[in-house]
Structure 1
Amino acid sequence: MALGPGMRAGHYEVLDLLGEGGMGAVYRARDTRLMREVAIKVIRRDLTADRELISRFGKEARLLAALSHPNIATIHGFEEAEGERLLVMELVPGATLAERLSTGPVPVDEAIAIALQIAGAIEMAHGRGIIHRDLKPANIKLTPDGIVKVLDFGLAKALVAPAALSLSPTVTSGGTREGMLLGTAAYMSPEQARGKDVDEQTDIWAFGCVLHEMLTGQPAFGAATLSDTIAATLTREPDFSRLPHDVPGAVLRVLRRSLVKETRHRLRDIGDARIELEEAGLGDAVPVPSPARRQSNLRSAAVFLAGALAGAATLWLVDPRAAAPSVQTVRFALPLEATERLAGLDFPAIAISPNDSHVAYVATVGGDQQVFLRDLSQAAAVVLPGTAGAISPFFSPDGRWIAFFAEGKLKKVPVGGGPVQDIANAAIGFGGSWGADNTIVFAPDNGSALWRVSADGGEARPLTTLDKARGEFSHRWPDLAPDGKSALFTVGTKGTWDDAEIVAVSIADGKRRTIVQGGSNPHYLSDGRVLFVRAGSLYAVPSGGAQATENASLLLEGVAESLDGAAQAALSRTGSLAFVPGSGEAGAHALVWVDRHGQVQPLAAPRRTYESPRLSPDGRTIAVTIGTGDRDEVWTYDVARASLKQLTFNGGSAPAWTADGARLAFSSRREGLPALFVRKLDTSASDERRGRAGRARVPLSIAPDGTIACVEYDTAGRDVVLLKEGDATPHPFLASPANESAAAFSPDGRWLAFVSDRSGRNEVYITPASDPARPMQVSNDGGTEPVWRRGDGQELFFRSDDRMLSAAIHPGSRLAIGKPAVLFDAAFEPGVAGRPGYDVSADGARFLMVHGDEQERPAREVRVILGFVR
């Protein structure tokens, strides 16, 4: 919830915004009950949905409220007000130590005085079994009257519950398990960087870093990039020669003993540091020797961590071959939250900012597909509002914007949040690239060439033309050169996307030059080579001319790739890589039966790229879309005979059965433009086109009277239209500012279930088929893909993330809807194009679903390699 001056959160009156962090915004506010000013942190709503996190927050707040020390900012409480979670804290005036250091080093006497107060605060907390884990200048405030306050023990860990402490802490394994990496990189201890369990000595290391920075004005292990900072922490010794020459010997001893990489040789107790500093004024200044210059290599070839470079990441490999910290390659993973699922994987679903500071990815929570943004200096990703239904995100050259495709348009949103702006029409969007001249090159549709448009909007102009004489049917996945003079893209002709061509086109005159024969998803590299993908591996070739893949250099294996040619790999301008791990091409899955308890029984059908299988009314035949590389086709599978047969040969997808099982409706681009067709299965008659071609219209469900419910895509979003028997004109049925899809007629045709995001998230509704103005909500925690039980229609199934749910339906003068119940929770392939990814047997006992091997399923993490190409 965004608050402004004068607004209220419970009994707190907001005065102004103090700042924003990874967990939420912090406001200066007035407690109207106690008539005092406080600071309140409003926890982000996507985090408050995590019950374990909120429970952990409450425990930490109670721990910290029990701390009473003049150098620790007081926690007043953790409250709930109007649906928001508030951490109420002491309002501390003054500047942070980070702000003070921005003007230069602190005089020695002043630095010692500040360090003494910091040490006293940490000593008291350690005595209560609490470690800070994120001590840094930004978490230390200097009040106008000279008092130091240590802030934000929000990442504290309860180590021991002292008997005298009535509020005994409880440590949960999910909160601080080994491998959790918490803290800011420049102040992180080596054991934190290696993902080990941490204790008080982590705070001692950070204390030494802060003291060193106060005296020198520079971080002890600071570097230009995140990867170099981590490498310096693990391999480099601090440069004590930068210390002032009048530093007392006691201070130097504290620094030397605090910044020892091996914990067994590090200062044991922060109280010892306090005593040394108190005695510092009694000793004489000593010369500061130059540090020993040692060449050191990383001793571990594979260091596995879990957490984030300032929150939650897994450092899964540190390159041992690098000669010096300045060229270290650091690899880590960003695990998704438990409720998140990577989504939109038929398109590029990840992006990395030009300066490596952020990673964006498409994921779903509660059925809502949105762009998530992860600041690599923060502990968690944030959802970018206004990105519902997004696919194919990419950054602006300055890293301030993210462009994406949704609701039939190319759009952009500020990285810091703000209004979403439309740029151009784009029916689906098969990739885009944002140039330094503020021009975007993009592929607006599956069967289109490339277009250009200003990132500020305006008229889009064609950049390339499909050479249909060569069999070209798609230009996609563009990447603009850093100088903006040319663009790489993938040309689809025949076969799979591994057989595609990579072409460079001149922006000035449109001349084309083939770079790679046999690959897709190209990127310009800073060293002049071209990166591309083939069979889930990344290769590089010189950009000078056509190269076969056998002449390319293999850089990385195990990148997720769809059969539509979308590889989950993104490159920054500095040469860092973000990717989703996988076993190459994803999509070759199995048709399976799943019972109401989640038990799986495979069918005998061969593995294919199945999408949205639909059972015939008699349950004997399955109609299903199968991708064939360059296009989709409709196939049928005879369940009894275990026979798979191709039904369409010139393009077809999204089949839907009529109630008598005699006909199939499907979508096709066989005439060049999208259109809906109906085929009679017992004759050789030509397919009947229903309605005019040109609108992206996908059949969803067919009523007993032959009315076809379709989802229709246009520049305004998704709506549900009805095509009645014998009427070529589609009639809008659910057409609102919200997005509606997944319409499903009840077996008797009286009711229509559908999905809408009118509430701000996808939920399942039911409305009379004769009156769309009276919808009734079925789901209450997100919902998609509704399917009726056949026959009496007294049960409606739907999905929410990986959960399959059921709601009882009681017909009557007014429909009664039961409370949804979870049947099972397991990962199966979702539906596409607003259609369910499953169907239900006549008795409601089994679900026909699409399932892939675990190693073929998209990972629950995004991996990052900083310095992948230098």
Structure 2
Amino acid sequence: SWALAAALALVALSLAAVHFSERPTEVYPVRFTVPPPGKVTFDWLDIPVVSPNGQRLAFTGMTPEGKRALWIRSMESLTNQPLPGTEDAAFPFWSPDGRFIGFFAEGKLKKIDVSGGPPQTLFDAPLGGGGSWNQDGIIVFNPVEGPLYRVSAAGGETKPLLELDKSRREVSHSWPSFLPDGRHFLYLARSADAGKTGIYLGSLDSKETRLLVNADSNAAYAPPGFLIFSRQEILLAQPFDVRKLQVIGEPFPIAESVGRMTFIPGAHFSVSENGVLAYRSGGTSNSQFAWYNRDGKRLGSVGEPGDYRQIVLSPDGKRLAIERPDPKVGTTDLWLLELESGIMSRLTFDPANDSDPVWSSDGRRLLFSSSRKKANDLYIKVIGGEEELLFESGEDKFAEEWSKDGSSILFISLNGKAFYRLPGPGGSPGERKPELLLRTEFDKDEPHISPDGRWIAYNSLESGRWEVYVASFPKFTEKRQVSNAGGCQPLWRKDGKELFYLGMDGKLMAVDVKAGAGFEAGAPKVLFQTPLRADPIQNQYDVTGDGQKFILGEPIEQEVKPIKVVLNWTAGLKR
């Protein structure tokens, strides 16, 4: 009837009014921070990585004992869970199902089940540069400063995936990141030509590669269609067509003051498949050079504060060689500080990493390592003059010591597992043959020959913590431990009658030495408490020849930056 029809029409209109008056629930970004657990600190190596489903966060951090380890945290929890067996872990990455984490540690590529169990070693990776894991169980990774490789997530044979493009003057590939199809991936290719450094597109099925974006950064794809990467300290999103594999339009900023790594360029960020973004601010740790006497009295500062590494005093005590990162590109160069005037000048300008300076005994030259070719090789720089290649090989080599008579050079290879000796300058690089002096399964570093050339001091992890040892040189017999509660960075007094080292608690220690045909060492004595956080693979201090003054790279107190997490990060984009 007409009445019934009218009633039904009113009901329909009412329902329509209700329906059209309802608006979709607005989605907003949710931001929170994750501080480091306990007394753990973050530094330039520590990248937060979100699981693919956005439910967990994995990160590395440095313990007060100087050991880096891996933690995970559920987004639903307020606690961080350490993963046992992940000491020395760096650059973690998730499996697609979120059950495993791949990481680099002790010169190996490893994986660990986050539900429990020990890590499994997959392959050698002396200097890892990131990894990515696809749905078919293929891991693409960078084992050294060369091209990318592939390996099964179950372990087994590894195969080169790409080659360095000589036409583009490429020096390294790093930070692979699979796209949703599991066959194509993003990666960073660094070139001696800065204009050709960028984020490239690669494939498991082809050797062909293509430049997507000029940026010296790691990159990741984020649904519904963005490439995320950084330029300097700004995190950018670039529209990306995932079907055509092409960038669209211009990038726009999504976060500022995002920390960057040095040595292996990249930014501290990651993104999940469902809109979770994690990043960390502040990637540098500034320090101030300062003189101290043996009683711990601060005698004054030198130069300006900055991000400095590997400080080495010249033989005459007038200059300081320094490894210093360039925050714009993330690589390191060598600088020289005149201690009397405070004037600092740059020594190396190559876009590769130049690191680990070692003085010649006359103070006219510096031995150093550089990644200008496939691996870190050894070079010599004349102060105010030219550079020359001393020795190259397929393995990474890090300069450590130059004998007083100039005839021998020591370097570390195999990710800190071996000490080698090499003839000094003279002849062609190809004629030099390294001599293996010591190789063990334990990490070791900072070898320094005694002034009389008969003994060598170094720090090793063989006891389970870093300690200082002295052995005969070059045979490494008659070894004895000289530190008694942890130690690193041993240095000899010029007359060989005293050995200094840094305790793992930051105390500067001294040991009286009687060295000749035999070696006798007294009990370690505390000179003073330094403000340093001991690092067994860095030179954080040096001492004058008479052992009366010490120069330190004092850390400038900075707040430890927490990890920042943004849920629904795309909801904050302007529509």
Does residue 526 (structure 1) correspond to residue 227 (structure 2)? The answer is no
CA distance in 1, matches of 2:95, 2:441: 28
- Given the alignment, which residue of 759, 769, 789 partners 2:473? 769
Match of 1:751 in 2: 455
User: What is the SS of the residue equivalent to 1:665?
Assistant: strand
Question: 2:147, 2:173 within 8 Å by CA — same for their partners in 1?
Answer: yes
The residue number in structure 1 matching 2:10 is none
Amino acid at match of 1:408: G
What's 1:370 paired with? 69
> What's 1:568 paired with?
268
- Measured against aligned partners, the alpha-carbon deviations of 1:484-534 in whole angstroms (never above 9, x if no partner) come to 13212223336879x953233343335444443346221111222121122
- Which secondary structure does the structure 1 equivalent of 2:52 belong to? coil
Q: Partners of 1:522 and 1:747 in 2: how far apart?
A: 49
- Partner Cα distance (1:415, 1:820) in 2: 44
| Matching residue of 2:134 | 435
Q: String of CA shifts for 1:545-603, please: whole Å, max 9, x gaps.
A: 4467xx33322223211344221222233332333222xx6367654445664848442
Distance of aligned partners of 1:479 and 1:412 in 2 relative to their CA distance in 1, 3 Å threshold: same
- Paired position in structure 2 for 1:655: 357
Q: Relative to 1, partners in 2 of residues 1:581 and 1:664: Cα closer, same or farther, differing over 3 Å?
A: closer
User: Take 2:530 and 2:345, find their aligned partners in 1: how far apart are those partners?
Assistant: 32
* 3-state DSSP of counterpart to 1:397: coil
Select the residue among 501, 512, 522 that pairs with 2:198.
Answer: 501
Cα 1:689–1:456 shift into 2, 3 Å: same
Match of 1:316 in 2: none
The 5-angstrom pairing of residues 99-114 of structure 1 reads none
Aligned to 2:104, the other structure's residue is in SS state strand
SS at match of 1:815: strand
Q: 1:512 to 1:666 in 2, by over 3 A?
A: closer
- 5+ residue gaps, structure 1, are 1-321
For 1:300-348, what per-residue CA distance to the aligned partner results, in whole angstroms no more than 9, with x for missing partners? xxxxxxxxxxxxxxxxxxxxxx967x8662513233322x2324x2x45
Normalised to the residue count of structure 2, the TM-score between the two structures is 0.80
Question: Which residue in 2 is equivalent to 1:737?
Answer: 441
Tell me: CA distance 1:546–1:592, structure 2 relative to 1, closer, same or farther (3 Å).
farther
Residues 793 and 323 (structure 1 numbering): CA distance in 2 closer, same or farther, change over 3 Å?
farther
Q: Is residue 277–residue 569 contact of structure 2 (8 Å, CA) maintained in 1?
A: yes
Which whole-Å CA distance do the structure 1 matches of 2:512 and 2:74 have between them? Answer: 45
Q: Structure 1 CA distance, aligned partners of 2:358 and 2:100?
A: 40
Question: Which protein has the larger Cα radius of gyration, Structure 1 or Structure 2?
Answer: 1
Distance 1:617 1:337, change over 3 A: same
1:383 and 1:763 map into 2 onto residues whose CA distance is 25
Instruction: State which of 806, 811, 833 in structure 1 corresponds to 2:514.
Output: 811
Instruction: Give the Cα–Cα distance (whole angstroms) in 1 for the partners of residues 266 and 165 of structure 2.
Output: 22
In structure 2, do the counterparts of structure 1 residues 755 and 413 end up closer, same or farther at CA, with 3 Å as the change threshold? Answer: farther
Alignment-derived partner of residue 545 in structure 2? 842
Q: CA deviation at 1:735?
A: 1.4
Residue type of the alignment partner of 2:99: R
CA contact (8 A) 2:31 2:564 kept: no
Give the alignment's TM-score, normalised by structure 1: 0.55
Q: Distance in 2 between matches of 1:598 and 1:579?
A: 40
Secondary structure class of the residue paired with 2:218: strand
Q: Distance in 2 between matches of 1:330 and 1:680?
A: 52
Render the CA deviation track for 1:36-62: whole Å, top value 9, x for unaligned. Answer: xxxxxxxxxxxxxxxxxxxxxxxxxxx
Comparing 643-652 with 393-402, greater Cα deviation is found at: 643-652
Matches within 5 A, 1:135-284: none
Shift of 1:428: 0.8
SS of the residue corresponding to residue 342 of structure 1 reads coil
Q: Indicate the residue corresponding to 1:668 in structure 2.
A: 370
Residue of structure 1 equivalent to 2:316 = 618
Where does residue 488 of structure 1 map in the other structure?
186
State the shift of 1:612 in Å. Answer: 0.6
Distance verdict in 2 for CA 1:640–1:609, change over 3 Å: same
Separation in structure 2 between the aligned mates of residue 851 and residue 535 of structure 1, nearest angstrom: 26
- Tell me how far apart the structure 2 counterparts of residues 781 and 575 of structure 1 sit (CA, whole Å): 47
Structure with more relative contact order (C-alpha pairs < 8 Å, separation 6 or more): 2
**Which deviates more from structure 2 when the two are superposed, residues 477-486 or residues 834-843?**
834-843
What's the offset of the Cα at 1:619?
A: 0.5
- The equivalent of 1:794 in structure 2 is 498
Q: 1:578 to 1:670 in 2, by over 3 A?
A: closer
User: Is 1:558 the counterpart of 2:262 in the alignment?
Assistant: no
Give the Cα separation in 1 of the matches to 2:215 and 2:443. 38
What is the rounded CA distance, in whole Å, between the counterparts of 2:299 and 2:162 in structure 1? 47
Query: What residue number does 1:577 align with?
Result: 277
Task: Provide the residue aligned with 1:450 in structure 2.
Answer: 148
Give 1 or 2: higher strand fraction: 2
In structure 1, the residue matched to 2:157 is 459
CA shift in 2, pair 1:702/1:501, >3 Å:
closer
Match of 1:411 among 98, 106, 110: 110
Which of 95, 120, 126 pairs up with 1:421? 120
Q: Specify which of 507, 525, 531 is matched with residue 826 of structure 1.
A: 531
Take 2:33 and 2:358, find their aligned partners in 1: how far apart are those partners? Answer: 44
| Sequence identity percentage | 29
Corresponding residue number in structure 2 for 1:361: 60
Query: What does 1:273-352 align with in structure 2 at a 5 Å threshold?
Result: 329-338=30-39, 340-343=40-43, 345=44, 347=45, 349-352=47-50
Task: State how far apart, in whole Å, the 2-side matches of 1:791 and 1:608 are.
Answer: 33
Distance in 2 between residues matched to 1:323 and 1:824, nearest whole Å: 58
**Deviation sequence 1:75-95 (CA, Å, 0-9, x none):** xxxxxxxxxxxxxxxxxxxxx
Say what the alpha-carbon RMSD is for the aligned residues. Answer: 3.6
SS at match of 2:167: helix
User: Are residues 623 and 335 of structure 1, via their aligned partners in 2, closer, same or farther at CA, if it must alter by over 3 Å?
Assistant: closer
Structure 2 CA distance for partners of 1:668 and 1:509, relative to 1, 3 Å: closer
Match of 2:94 among 392, 395, 398: 395
Which amino acid is the alignment partner of residue 543 of structure 2? V
Amino acid corresponding to residue 565 of structure 2 in structure 1:
V
Deviations 1:621-648 (A, max 9, x none): 2223344537544343333344444444
Post-superposition Cα deviations, 1:447-496, rounded to whole Å, max 9, x if no partner, equal x2322221122333333343333343333222112331321222333687
Please state how far the C-alpha of 1:392 moved relative to its aligned partner.
Answer: 1.1
Secondary structure at the aligned position of 2:93 is classed as: strand
